[in-house]
A and B are shown apart, each in its own frame.
Chain A
Amino acid sequence: DIQMTQSPSSLSASVGDRVTITCRASQSISSYLNWYQQKPGKAPKLLIYAASSLQSGVPSRFSGSRSGTDFTLTISSLQPEDFATYYCQQSYSTPDTFGQGTKLEIK
């Protein structure tokens, strides 16, 4: 199975900050990488698919990029509603695997 390693596992930031979360794949997955946001007690929500495509309805402050097997989710200016846990997921090969999550907390 392909291993997905997210960093950091937790992050404290302030409203208005620029935040970057990284996900590294254990092997090449091309651009088959998705990002999800999950708030406590809620189902995950798709933010970014195919590494850099913004899902419909997601604010443009969210963006994704790829460099080899390293993938980045960037939030350009944190809003109060962005404090949540973020997961990456590879959809290159079955079984799909998720990163362990990054909890974004208010500083």
Chain B
Amino acid sequence: EVQLVESGGGLVQPGGSLRLSCSASGFTFSSYAMYWVRQAPGKGLEYVSAISSDGGITYYADSVKGRFTISRDNSKNTLYLQMSSLRAEDTAVYYCVKDLGVGTTDTFDYWGQGTLVTVSS
């Protein structure tokens, strides 16, 4: 059974940093692209960042470029999102998401339960 378990969320002050982790199991982690998608309270879904199966290719939404860094450790089956210079508008539930296909299809077949990041003083 595929499982994605996020951790690392919490309350942080504006300008602060936080690192999210996503522990994956139930599939060959190193074969799939992975993503972070966020959802602000009461709002829709926003694509944040993507990383290829081997970690060699990454992508960031303009809203987080230069502030967030996605990475992965295939030996630990873990996905990360390092967030810095956090702003109030980064407040959201952050979901770790798996790609449907081997390779990169940008189709999201499994989602974690989400971890809430709140940026506030």
Which residue numbers of A lie inside 8 Å of B, CB to CB? 32, 34, 36, 43-46, 49-50, 55, 87, 89, 91, 94-101
Contacts and interface: CB of A to CB of B under 8 A. Distances in A.
Interface in B34-92: 44-47, 50, 59, 61-62
30 contacts: A32-B106, A43-B111, A43-B112, A43-B113, A43-B114, A44-B45, A44-B108, A44-B111, A45-B111, A46-B100, A46-B107, A49-B100, A49-B105, A49-B107, A49-B109, A55-B109, A87-B44, A89-B45, A89-B108, A91-B105, A91-B106, A94-B50, A94-B59, A95-B47, A97-B47, A98-B44, A99-B44, A100-B44, A101-B44, A101-B45
Nearest to A1: B62
Interface string B87-121: 00000000100001000011111011110000000
Contact of A34 (B62, B108, B111): B108
B67 to A, nearest CB: 15
B40 to A, nearest CB: 12
Interface of B: 44-47, 50, 59, 61-62, 95, 100, 105-109, 111-114
A50 B61 CA distance: 23
Nearest to A33: B107
A49 B99 CA distance: 12
Nearest to B113: A43
Contacts of B59: 94-95
A10 to B, nearest CB: 13
A43 B45 CA distance: 10
What DSSP secondary structure best describes chain A's contact surface?
A: loop
Contacts of A94: 50, 59, 106
Contacts of B44: 87, 98-101
A36 B107 CA distance: 10
Nearest to B111: A43
Nearest to A46: B109
